[in-house]
Amino acid sequence: MRPLFESPAFSLHYEAAHHWLTATWHGKPTAEIYLSSRALILHFTSELHCTLLLCDASESLDGWEEIGRWLSTSYLSFLTESGMQAIAWVNAHDWYRHERTEELMRKSTEPFMATFDEGSNAYDWLHRVCYLAPEQL
């Protein structure tokens, strides 16, 4: 994987073989980190023609309260318009946030999203999805 952005709170990598991005949050990121991570993901989705995204919040200490902002704005629509087809989300280990994330994910229709408790399961799922035609998602 090729690193695109690295900071103590957020990292973004590109896996060229499958045209996917891996976004990882660490510790307790600020609202500014969340906003800049959204912009970076959108930018590289378009620039690198990525169709899949692995979001790993398992190392995020607050479970990422900002997930509601992702889903309540047009951000996911922008991702879809940029070519994003599927997102695998690795939950934080905070059960309240875990349930909230799953509830919000169910409300989204595009791109296709699934949540996971283990990063390896999310990776395996995304790897299988990369071979599906968009209409099969």
Tell whether the model's pLDDT for residue 134 goes beyond 70.
no
What is the C-alpha to C-alpha distance for residues 96 and 79, in angstroms, rounded to an integer? 26
The domain in which residue 30 lies consists of: 2-136
Number of domains into which the chain is organized: 1
pTM, 2 dp:
0.84
Q: Which of 41-45, 112-116, 130-134 has the lowest mean pLDDT?
A: 130-134
Residues in CB range of 102: below 8 A, 6 or more apart? 91, 115
Region 10-29 average pLDDT: 92
Element (H, E) at 123: helix 119-129
Where does the pLDDT of residue 97 fall: very low under 50, low under 70, confident under 90, or very high at 90 and above?
Answer: low
Where does the pLDDT of residue 127 fall: very low under 50, low under 70, confident under 90, or very high at 90 and above?
Answer: confident
Which pLDDT value is given to residue 135? Answer: 57
CATH number (domain holding residue 58): 3.30.750.24
* 53 three-class SS: strand
Let me know: does 111 contact 86? Beta carbons within 8 Å.
Answer: yes
Residue indicated by tokens 């299988």 = 128
* 79 three-class SS: helix
